[in-house]
Amino acid sequence: MQMQQIHASNSSPSYLIPHTPSVRGIPHPSFQLWSRPSSFPTQWKLKRVSHGCRNDVTKIKAVAVNKTEKAVKVKAIVSVQPTIGGIFSSLAIDADDLTDLLGKTLLVELVSAELDPKTKLEKKTIKDFAHRTYRSTKEVRYLAEFEVPADFGEVGAILVENEHRREMFVKEIVLDGFELGPVRFTCESWLHPKNENPVKRVFFPDKSYLPSETPEGVKRLREEELQHLRGNGQGERKKFDRIYDYDVYNDLGDGDRDPDLARPVLGGPEHPYPRRCRTGRPRSLKDPLSEERSSTVYVPRDENFSEVKQLTFSTKTLASGLQALVPALTALIVDKERPFEVFSDIDSLFDEGVGLPPGEVKISTLLPRIVSFIKEKGEDILRFDPPATMDKDRFFWLRDEEFGRQTLAGLNPCCIKLVTEWPLKSKLDPEIYGPAESAITTELVDKEIKGYFPVEEAIKQKKLFILDYHDLLLPLVEQVRKIEGTTLYGSRALFFLTGSGTLRPLAIELTRPPMDGKPQWKKVFTPTWHSTGVWLWRLAKVHVLAHDTGYHQLISHWLRTHCATEPYIIAANRQLSAMHPIYRLLHPHFRYTMEINALARGSLINAGGIIESCFTPMKHSILLSSIVYDQEWRFDLQSLPKDLIHRGLAVEDPTAPHGLKLTIEDYPYANDGLDLWAAFKTWFTEYIDHYYADSNAIQSDTELQAWWEEVRTVGHADKKDEPWWPVLKTKEDLVEIVTTIAWTASGHHAAVNFGQFSFAGYFPNRPTIARTNMPNEDPSDPEWELFLKKPEVTMLRCFPSQYQATTVVTVLDILSNHSPDEEYIGDVTEPAWEQEPRVKAAFEKFRGKLLEIEGLIDSRNADETKRNRNGAGVVPYELLKPTSEAGVTGKGVPYSISI
């Protein structure tokens, strides 16, 4: 091998050594040294003179140096975030401050990326204690100093040991002093004290590596860190643990406290369900298959909310706020079943408000947005801001056109389906549930569409659409009706696509199966001009909307986003190293999800929780989500394009934008969602192209394959044998998988979450429960007489009770709120993405596309021809606008499911 001499400004010669390494599997001429040639003078050492992204040619300069060259002095600057109410929170000196003063706060070790060339073993680490050099309310810095030998090589990892008695949140570590500039280690992690866990924490630099490209000196650490995160599946998890493991949903019930609160285990052959994070809590005394309840639920420490989010969401709202508000409401509203007496009582929640009884906790300090302290009265006043829909049009909820519009641009725009078979017919066993034929007949539809088309032609031209909860809910009707204060039907709502592109409701069918010695009852309700028919139609809408609202909260929201995503997160942390490029790509989409899920299990979806108390299926609510998971959930259909095709709302068309032609052109959720989906897909494609040369690189990535295998066979174990799971063999497969996951956690979740207060805050628009039967189900019943005399009272009794409505509106206000430290898609470049110019450029292009989408959404909302998002009193569709300010805004797409 020949060396080419290069003349420098001094007399010392330097050399470029030709070599032909394999760059991403392709032979590429460069000047990169992979091994020292035997003929190379031993008194010379090699130094890298420049480097770009990993695909660029890397040049190595051989510089004549003396064997006795001095070591490099390197500083490690450790940046720690002061915690609120914890470490560094006060100026008083404690034991940890004394540790700082002694200069022994953190033991920092530098780990070489290279093996010893002679022994082929890991090089000895270089250690120093870091001492505190700076302290403020926003940051504390520590400094360690090292003498790094000339032959130490690059630093491949840092080991840190916390000598404090309390944990600390390490934001980053920067090594300064190397010839090529600073080396950054982004940590963003809680560092436990040594006395709690003697295992040293390892942090890897921001540069990403596939498993096969891991520097030799840190291969062992990479695998050991993953083993630590997996744990051994034994014992109860401690608060400081960082262990990710799986369990079934066996912690929702509380049979030890009350037999009526016992609930079946979700997960397994009887009740299929995704898996959650294992906590290892002791078993229930009365049900050995279930865990006992506790006031706190373990999540791996780094999954906990940030300090800012703790204050703005967890501590002051869902946890403390509801814990204080619910007893106050109970004291205020002694009768939990009491309905609103008149509609003006509903309006008063948004106008005058209601005084809350005095208590030990000032609720106004916990829920300042909705509870104010009135000094003159000396009491807390519960008063809600009018939702955007109500603020624009107080009577919006009554209009049929709004009923149809919201199926496309409302809170649950992902359930409307194209009618493809006629006549409508149930697939349930008629021996059990009664005749399968729908009462929505051809003659009835012909009458409603007034000769536009015969039914067959309307179906052929894709003009009929349906919200169909008939077969899903009918098997639950008998069990739900045994619960006091609620009722249930199987339901269908049929819509016609008008020439203006809007959906007009045609008919609602409600069905009760044979029960209590009575035959099947089914009735069709249609818009009409007669007063009795008008009120029956309105009541039928209340039932359908309650069903749709329950499906939205339990399936479209909880199951499809929160619940289904947790296994992706657990598997990623168990199988993908923190230095894996796919881990770093998906990590922003996983932040805080496990903690919000734990909070939901604690107070929202648990037995006797908010959902069971206030939604139609009541104690069967979460079981309903298991039924849907078993019957309907498919990973491939979480893809927005495939979901639209599956529901008949789109067909593949290479000439159309995004390759899809929408069945309803003005479909705001689909219009904006497809733009967002395409932006994600382009960004992910360019990112994956950078790290993977070809399909062989995908198939040989052991961590990636282990992750996807575990998602399918463990995280979603009850679905592991389904044929629809995507294979992971090509780059295109990987792009589709990560786009589906990212869309679910960001776009889909934003669409079904952040409009909750806007659309359901005024609950007559989307009641969570229908409490009474239709008055004509049994015309001899006294309810029929009351209905004929005072139909408004009948409706108010059917609506949620005062207690239910007030509780739900409070929760919806909290869940629709953007935290001040919300992380929106495209907002911040991850440090690892900054390391690679090609990746950084791709992300900047993605960010630019998001700005373009913002403007596009604004222009669509301003277009008077788009009647599903523009018109008098119509709230513009902004749920998929990428950014937002803090608060309840009805827009903004965060990276992750963080609320």
List residues with catalytic annotation: 557, 562, 749, 753, 899
To which H or E segment does residue 676 belong?
A: helix 668-691
* Burial (0-12, 13-18, 19+ Cβ within 10 Å), 134: exposed
Chain centroid to CA 843: 21
To which H or E segment does residue 146 belong?
A: strand 140-148
Look-up of token digits 């530098």? 110
Tell me if 562 sits within 8 A of 484, measured CB to CB: no
CA distance 833 to 53: 11
CA distance 586 to 637: 19
Determine phi and psi for 645, rounding to 5 degrees: -65, -45
Helix ranges (DSSP H) in 418-505? 430-433, 442-448, 455-460, 470-473, 477-480
Q: For 657-728, where are the E strands, in sequence order?
A: 660-662
How do strand 13-16 and strand 660-662 relate by DSSP bridges? unpaired
DSSP string, 806-860: HHHHHHHHHHTEEPTT--BTTSS--HHHHT-HHHHHHHHHHHHHHHHHHHHHHHH
To which H or E segment does residue 674 belong?
A: helix 668-691
Tell me if 543 sits within 8 A of 770, measured CB to CB: yes
* Burial (0-12, 13-18, 19+ Cβ within 10 Å), 256: middle
CA distance 258 to 249: 19
Structure tokens at 148: 């790094």
DSSP string, 366-383: H-TTTEEEETTTTEEEE-
C-alpha dist (Å) from residue 824 to 775, 847, 885, 897: 48, 11, 10, 11
Tell me if 571 sits within 8 A of 737, measured CB to CB: no
Q: For 296-429, where are the E strands, in sequence order?
A: 354-355, 371-374, 379-382, 417-418
Closest CA relative to residue 112, chosen from 242, 2, 205: 205
Tell me if 894 sits within 8 A of 825, measured CB to CB: yes
Q: Which amino acid is at 807?
A: T
Q: Around Cβ 859, how many Cβ atoms within 10 Å?
A: 10
Closest CA relative to residue 105, chosen from 156, 47, 45, 168: 168
How do strand 183-191 and strand 168-176 relate by DSSP bridges? antiparallel
Closest CA relative to residue 758, chosen from 890, 883, 891, 869: 890
Contacts of 765 (CB under 8 A, 6+ apart): 389, 390, 396, 397, 402, 545, 759
Tell me if 314 sits within 8 A of 597, measured CB to CB: no
CA distance 143 to 134: 9
CA distance 402 to 693: 51
